[in-house]
Chains A and B, each alone.
Chain A
């Protein structure tokens, strides 16, 4: 029987956010969704750090609002989380900027397509022919290509020959 105390709910929320974020990050195929999932996961991680400082029945660590000697929560994790949130903001802003340039270069944010194009561009920049590609057909051509002049001539049965793609 899981006791539904405050502790369980808070920890479940924090860890749930981290898990949802990590799931989205590793299972997603679209770069923007991965950045958003990272954002959720970071929020969960920060929540986990803040929870590390909680004390039951204590007040916020500001002097002058309660009688001196009242129990206060741990201020150190809050300072750590301040730093961590700002770090997350910086990284995400930079990620969005890079995403804009990726879209401008390749016209898509689909990760599989982008990795394919990136590998192709890297090989071309180095002057190496690509031997492995998940998009290129494997094996030999089954039929010889149709010569250029023989276009739009229906054969004996009446089918048109297909356009030759040069």
Chain B
């Protein structure tokens, strides 16, 4: 009975979506907001990458909500998973290939991650993308050597301070100029690394936060017990 109802619901949803897709115009969308952002982004924000200009400028409030979601997920996972299991210090190493690969990959991934984070306003990239690559660097290290203890206290402090840095920059803009998250500092020359005002700072804060949070999340999952109930 439950399966029949579910099947009917899924088929109805599929039909609805197909009908919707048939009626929507593809490639002829009414770009009401998009056109004006494309025209004004250079002056308003000063970043060459307009998508990053939207993420950290026009819709910076959404980005604040987004980093909070990651923080809430990491906190909730920490609350749910609890302590390191007793046998974790005796976990075997990940093998020769994984160990050698990790030693090669770790510094390169960190470098690529930092590059993506700080060039976010010039080329496709930004805090989130680079932060995930940074977290991947730590994933590789954790998987290659699972017995090493991860310092959760340090991760909690780093992610807390990075998130607070994002908000403090916004409040500084509020105190100085009366508007929360207003782009401050000089716009500089577009295309240079030091341009677009406070945006690279926001991007870096987000990158550090995302990287540390996802690394901590994986460390929690790999350390928790999933053994016999």
* Partner-B contacts on A (CB < 8 A): 7, 10-12, 15, 18-19, 22-23, 26-27, 51-56, 60-64, 72, 74-76, 78-79, 82-83, 86-87, 89-91, 93-94, 96-98, 100-101, 103-107
Contact = CB atoms under 8 A, between A and B. Distances in A.
B13 interface: yes
A79 B27 CA distance: 18
Nearest to A81: B51
Interface in B179-229: 190-191, 210, 214, 217, 220-221, 224-229
A64 B225 contact: no
B190 A62 contact: no
Q: Kindly list the 3 A-B residue pairs having the minimum CB-CB distance in the complex, ordered from nearest.
A: A90-B73, A26-B6, A74-B34
A91 B31 CA distance: 31
A19 B13 contact: yes
Given A51-B26, A97-B220, A72 B50 contact: yes
Given A22-B13, A90-B70, A107-B229, A62 B49 contact: yes
Contact of A97 (B34, B81, B225): B81
B109 to A, nearest CB: 18
A23 B15 CA distance: 13
Nearest to B225: A104
Contacts of A12: 21
A79 B49 CA distance: 11
Contact of B123 (A52, A62, A74): A62
Contacts of B97: none
B157 interface: no
Interface string B2-27: 01001101100110011001001011
> Which applies to chain B's interface (DSSP): helix, strand, loop or mixed?
helix
Instruction: Specify which of B18, B33, B55, B77 lies most central, judged by the most chain A CB atoms within 10 Å of its CB.
Output: B77
B153 interface: no
A63 B59 contact: no
A64 B190 contact: yes
Interface stretch (B61-69, B137-145, B163-171): B61-69
Given A19-B14, A61-B38, A75-B54, A93 B48 contact: no
Interface residues of B, number: 60
Given A15-B18, A94-B80, 18 more contacts: A18-B17, A19-B14, A22-B14, A26-B6, A27-B3, A53-B29, A53-B34, A61-B50, A62-B51, A62-B123, A63-B49, A74-B34, A75-B51, A83-B55, A83-B59, A83-B63, A93-B73, A97-B220
B38 to A, nearest CB: 6
B225 A15 contact: no
B228 A93 contact: no
A26 B6 CA distance: 6
A104 B225 CA distance: 7
Instruction: Specify which of A10, A53, A96, A97 lies most central, judged by the most chain B CB atoms within 10 Å of its CB.
Output: A97
A107 B26 contact: no
A83 B66 contact: yes
A93 B220 CA distance: 11
Contact of B27 (A55, A86, A91, A101): A55
